[in-house]
Structures are given as structure tokens and as C-alpha cells.
Structure 1
Amino acid sequence: MDSTKQALKEKPGFQIWWRLLRPHTLTASFVPVFVGTMLALNEDSFHVVLFLAMMIASILIQSATNMFNEYFDFKRGLDNAESVGIGGTIVRDGIAPKTVLRLALIFFGIAALLGFFICMESSWWIAVIGLVCMLFGYLYTGGPFPIAYTPFGELFAGFFMGTVIIGISYYIQTLRITSEVIWISIPVAIFIGCIMLSNNIRDLDGDKINGRKTIAILLGRKKAINFLGILFIIAYSLTLYYIVVDMLPVWSILIFISVKMAITVIQKFKGKTKPIEMMPAMVLTGKTNSIYGLLLGISLLLSKLF
């Protein structure tokens, strides 16, 4: 256990709880809210309180989902002191599993209160969609048939955390939804799916032993890495197409600054077989999503200002 903690450079104190949130995955919560809100800003609709409420609620739901993951994987015996890519709060830091579960439920509760406020200011249909998103967050690793253990984890994660969150973030600002918003959400959804895929590539061997049927397992590590590269190409190609057809502003060419990071992700994965060796590639996948999403949102802001 000590060797794993040293290799991962894990520290005690506040860092224990910070790791539990799995910060490298939180990009999947704030990027869609930012992009959806900037799309609304281009339609002359922006309410800062709604933006902040949506941002905090999204981060809380993602954090709670990570905690459910930590709790249920431990309960199923999938995590141990040597496991990489987890918070390690239970198996390495000795925090009681029930404490992690309670904290996840508290985060869900706060997110629900924020959702109630958002609904009061927009539409009560948001409550239905929000509850479905929270249910997905629980069922991703909870319940009798966890989605994360199937080939559909990346698809569900990309759809709910990408397209749905962008759509909600846009709708609460404008009280409408457009087909363009849905189309623009697709590359972001792909990048979020890539985060899940890179996680599953790293965990392939352990997941296979434990009976999971992820895309990475079905394809095999080499083909899964190639598939990850293909997804990156599709996301960037779609963005370029949107710029050409004037669905996105010319400023959005800025997103191609992140291409080098995507290429590096693939390079860091190739030839690696141990989870600890693939952690840098996994973390960089999240950073690629962050840079892509932030640059996309900034490009929309620049087009509004200039």
C-alpha cells in the first residue's frame, strides 16, 4: 500500500477528500455548463446566478457519482490498496465506506436544492431531466446492473454529461433549445466519453478479471487506444465542419491548440500495460477535454464581444 501511495504521490489531510472527488474527472461537469452558457450568451441571454447554480449542481453530481463509484466498487471487492485511478479514500486512507456513501447523498441533496431553485427560475421540466441525470449518476456503478460494467458506459456518460448538460445550461438561460446547440454538444460529449474510455483502457486487466464488459475489454487494449484516437479525430473534425458552415464562429479555431494534447494522450498510452504507467495518459485526457471546452467557450465569448 505504501508503495502505491508513494507512486501516486498521495498526501494526507485535506488531500484525502480532494482525491475522493477525482478532480481529473470534474472537467466533465464544468465544461458542458460553460459551453452551454456561452452559447446562450450569444443569444443575448445570461443570468449569472443561474449559471453559478448550474455549475455548482453539475460539479456536485459528478463528485457524488465518483463517490458512488468508490463505494460500490469497494463493496463488490473490485478495489484494493493497490488499485490505481481511485480516490483510495476507503482502501488506503481508512475512511469508513458509509461515510463516503453519506457524503455522496449529501452532495446529491445540495444539488437537488439548487435544481429546485433553477426550476423556479426556468421550467419544472428541468426537474425531471435533473432527476434522470442523478439516477444515471447512481446507476453508473450502483444497482444490480451497473452501466460502467457494460460497453455503454462511454455512451451514457457522453450523452448525459455532455449533450444533456449543455442543453440544460442553454435552456435555463434562454427558455428554448435549438438543433444547433445539440449538434455543437456532440464533440464535447465525445471528449467526455473519451475520459471514460481512457479510464477503462487503464483498468482493462483488472476489469476483465472482475467480469466487466467495457469497450476497452471487447476491443482489446491496442484497438481501444486506436479507437480513442479515432474519437479525437471525429470530435475535432466535427468542430472544424461547424466552423466552415458558420455554426461556430471563426474564433473557435482556437480549440485546435488542444490537438497536441490529444496526440500526446495516444502516445502516452501506447506500449504501456500497467495501470500506474497509464495514469498520466488518463489524466491528460481529462485536461484535453478541459482545454478544448474552455477554448470553445472562450471563442463563443470572443465572438459576442467582437
Structure 2
Amino acid sequence: MDKNLEDIATKRSRKLWMAAIKLPMYSVSVVPIATGTAIAYHQSHEIDWGIFSTFLLSAILVLVWENLCNDVFDSETGIDVNKAHSVVNLTGRKHLVFMIANICLILGIGGVLAISWLQQDAIVVSLVAIACLFGYIYQAPPFRLGYQGWGEILCFFAFGPIGVTAAYYSQTQTFDYACITAALIVGIITSLILFCSHFNQVADDIAAGKRSPVVKLGTKRAADLLPWLCSLIYAIATFAIIAQLFPIWTASIFISLPITWHLCSFIRNNHDRADLLLNYRFIAVALHFVIGTALSISLALA
């Protein structure tokens, strides 16, 4: 009997740690770097693999910093009191988690700084520093702009216009309209993950004083807004193809339509059922991954 209870506890702990690590979420850091690099390759037919791999690893480390800090700062407001898979709740060692987070940030910024030093150009490290600043004011005191409903906007700029453009610039040392257009798509699909994650935690957000867009709009109006946000992605891609900013092959992002339909219809039909929407942010992660992958591959291979 004791052995069975021990096995159950071990399995539960393993599941909680997998949820805390959020491995699928790290596509959020991969897609901007891959997309910006793919556009550069589409135009120049060259990739500096050293810069690409350094930037990719640095982006992952910065996202680890942001995720761990989010758990640390949320533990101070009480919003994560019911979040069993918070790293702080799992370890009970907030200061250690915060220290590890800052080490990841230093290493991530160090990698990007190395790229700028090699190129004798401060643009890339400056863009990443701005993205990190957005990540800080999103979650950290005294700003906590995420609690005021600005999280999706900060996320859009950090991972879209800043992230994609920084990756593109690291390969080309120039700016380009096609890059900016792709950055808009990546920014929107990234913000959708954060937007969808609010539906299952409305009660906790209200209790902690967090005014997320879903809290402000109400779950019904927020669910009605979701299809319009998704449609904007395909509208931008269609415009870019017509304007010849993107090759025709980037229409491959439309293979994601079934995922979009499933996400929007399920949330619309269950917008007030927090128990059913607990893991639906991972459907948004899948949408992000499929669109980002299709966009990057089609640009690289066209």
C-alpha cells in the first residue's frame, strides 16, 4: 500500500515538474530567431551558423529568466497560491529560484553581447536589452504592467518586432520591410498564448488585483475577440504575399487553420469553464509553433 502511494506521489511530482518547466513554451524563444534568420537566408542565401546558434541559446536562457522571475514575483502577490506547478511553490526556495533566473539572464545577455562585439555593432544587444526591459516591467515591482493589462502588448513587441528584427539584423546588419511584416505575425501569435492563458485563471486574477484583458473584457467578449485576432495573422500573410514581400510558399501557414478553428470554437463554447480551459494555452502554443515553423521553412526554402 505504501509503495502504491509512493508511486502515485512520484508520478504527481513528475507531472508538476514537467508543467513547471513548460518545455513546449520554449518554441516562443525559438520562432523569432528562426523567422528572422530565415528571412535573411531567403534574401542573401547565407547563414552565419555561429551567430544563429549563439543567438538561439541566448534567447532560450533569457526566456528561462523570464519564466522563473514570473514565478518569483507572482509568489509575492499571492496570485499563484493555487498554482501547484509554480517552481517557487514546488521548491519552497524563492531566493534560489531568483538567483538561478539571474544567472540565466547574465549568460543570455553575454551571448548576445558577444555577437555585437564580434560585429562591432551595438544594435543587436540594444534590441535584446529593450526586450528584457519589457519582460521586467511586465512582471516585476514596482511596475507589474502585466497586472494592469499590458502584458499582451509588451509580449507582442518583445517577441515580434524586437525579437525577429534582432535575429534578422544579426545576420544582415540591415532592416527590411519583409522582416517587419513577419515580425508582426510572430508578435501576434506569441501574444495569443498569453491571452489564452488568462481564461482559466480569471478568479485568481481578480483576487490578486490583476486586470488582464480577459478580466477587463469578461470571458464572453474576450472569446469573441479571439477569432478576429487570429484572422489578423492570415490577413497580414496574405497582404505580404500579394505585395511580394513573402514568397507564395508562405501560404503554407494556412495549414494551421484547423488548429485556429479548434482553439477559437472551444474557448467560445467554454469561455466560463475554467476547469476545461486549464491546458488550452498549449493549443495556442501549438498554433504558434505550426505558424512559426511553416513561415520559417517556407522563407528559407523558397
TM over 0.5: yes
Give how far 1:10 is off: 4.5
Q: What amino acid sits opposite 1:286 in the alignment?
A: V
Aligned to 1:145: 143
Q: What amino acid sits opposite 1:42 in the alignment?
A: H
Runs of 4+ in structure 1 off by over 4 angstroms are none
Give how far 1:193 is off: 1.0
Q: 1:118 aligns with which of 103, 106, 115?
A: 115
Is the CA contact 1:202–1:282 (under 8 Å) kept in the aligned structure 2?
no
Aligned to 2:55: 54
Aligned to 2:67: 66
Unaligned runs of 5+ in 2: 1-7
Aligned to 2:218: 220
Unaligned runs of 5+ in 1: 1-5
Give the Cα–Cα distance (whole angstroms) in 2 for the partners of residues 108 and 275 of structure 1: 33
The answer to which of 120-129 and 197-206 deviates more is 120-129
Give how far 1:274 is off: 4.2
Identity %: 21
> Cα RMSD between the aligned structures?
1.9
What TM-score comes out, normalization by structure 2 length? 0.90
Q: What amino acid sits opposite 1:40 in the alignment?
A: A
Q: What amino acid sits opposite 1:103 in the alignment?
A: I
Question: Could you say what secondary structure the match of 1:165 adopts?
Answer: helix
1:99-144: CA deviations, max 9, x gaps?
Answer: 2111110110110210121112331132222222222222221121
Aligned to 1:26: 26
2:187 is aligned with 1:168:
no
Is the CA contact 1:215–1:224 (under 8 Å) kept in the aligned structure 2?
yes
Q: What amino acid sits opposite 2:70 in the alignment?
A: N
Give the Cα–Cα distance (whole angstroms) in 2 for the partners of residues 11 and 261 of structure 1: 30
Q: Structure 1 residues 272, 231: CA separation in 2 closer, same or farther (over 3 Å shift)? A: closer
Give how far 1:281 is off: 1.9
2:207 is aligned with 1:209:
yes
Whichever structure has more helix as a proportion of its residues is 2
Q: Structure 1 residues 272, 219: CA separation in 2 closer, same or farther (over 3 Å shift)? A: closer
Q: What amino acid sits opposite 1:33 in the alignment?
A: I
Give how far 1:201 is off: 2.2
Aligned to 1:12: 14
Is the CA contact 2:165–2:179 (under 8 Å) kept in the aligned structure 1?
yes
Q: What amino acid sits opposite 1:252 in the alignment?
A: T
The answer to which of 22-31 and 191-200 deviates more is 22-31
The answer to which of 157-166 and 19-28 deviates more is 19-28
